[in-house]
Amino acid sequence: MNWSKLPKIELHIHLDCSLSYDLVKKLDPSISWHEYKSKFQAPINCNSLNEYIIKAEPAIDLMQSKESLHLSVLDLAEQFVKDQVVYAEIRFAPLEHCRKGLSDIEVVEIVEKAAEKAAEKYGIEIYVILCCLRHYEEGKSLRVAELTARFKGSRIVALDLAGDETLPSQPHEAAFKYAVVHGIHRTSHAGEACGSESVNQSIHLFQVERIGHGVRSWESEETMNLLLQRDIHLEVCPSSNLLTGIYPDIRNHAVDKLRNYGVSLGINTDGRTISNVNLSGEYQKLAETFGWKQEDFLRHNLEAIKHAFAPEKIKKSVRKRLFEGYGQ
């Protein structure tokens, strides 16, 4: 099966984890292919979330200007086109791109306008999620929530919490309460480095609608039932979970158990460069390992677009593209 020809939805992909070699070479002409792989890609024996996360730093260092931010979005859109991604929500932490003079408002404006241009140029739907980071103090996370609200109605559609899962959630509670009050969509990384309790905490403390990763929900029947009761969608990233040492191999990954339990989930890359993957490759792994067929991927793409943060008119159009692409 040629999975590259099927239309796909990607809800969990970090902009700063997905810079192609061509773009990095354009921004830093001195870099070699070997150096790019060493700096920007996680090693196969990565074995921890923090070791994975730190690979984003070289990209963030490059993404400190209007040009580099703009090009990063267009570069990722080109990758989407090659992978037949017809709808994507890219996420990034805007406060990390203010190191060389850009204001946080300018950063968000640049990325939002680039997403608009990329959508028009390539005929795909691209929206943006703004990330707080776990190590932020309360005021910084609240600022990200305020930025999300400021751009409400544009391609900026949601608030996320990313970073080191072992750090406490409480400093970010005010940001998510602000998002709830202002009608901002919410997702949060949980159930990845930490167990199912982190998923419960995100649901209760942040009132999230989706969970980034969430695969360790399988460790608790209570958590699994909570996901079902509240129809919370899991943004599953199989290869990323292997690289960070959550599972020793794809055969032991919880994704098939989650699917069989009836939890809503979609398949994502997390970071195309850091994980050295695309969605077509992820689909191939799941097909070979668990026997997933075309209708299974249609089901999970439909679940993903149901839980996407775009306006309903856009989601309806994307559903039509999915049904047409899967011959329904």
Asked whether residue 34 carries a pLDDT value surpassing 90, the answer given is: yes
Considering the chain, what is the average pLDDT of its residues? 96
The structure's pTM equals 0.96
- Positions marked catalytic: 192
Please say whether the beta carbons of 103 and 143 come within 8 A.
no
Q: What is the pLDDT of residue 53?
A: 84
Q: What is the pLDDT of residue 267?
A: 99
- CA–chain centroid gap for 31, Å, is 27
Please say whether the beta carbons of 250 and 223 come within 8 A.
no
How do residues 145-175 score in pLDDT, each as one tens digit? Answer: 999 999 999 999 999 999 988 899 999 999 9
Please say whether the beta carbons of 72 and 97 come within 8 A.
no
Asked whether residue 47 carries a pLDDT value surpassing 90, the answer given is: no
What's the first-to-final CA gap in the chain, in angstroms? 17
Q: Where exactly are the structural domains of the chain?
A: 3-322
Strands 156-162 and 185-190: parallel
Asked whether residue 328 carries a pLDDT value surpassing 80, the answer given is: no
Phi, psi for 326 (deg, rounded to 5): -100, 10
% pLDDT > 90, the chain:
91
Q: What is the pLDDT of residue 44?
A: 79
CATH number of 3-322: 3.20.20.140
Helix, strand, coil percent content, the chain, rounded in steps of 5:
55, 15, 30
Asked whether residue 301 carries a pLDDT value surpassing 90, the answer given is: yes
Q: What is the pLDDT of residue 192?
A: 87
Asked whether residue 46 carries a pLDDT value surpassing 80, the answer given is: no
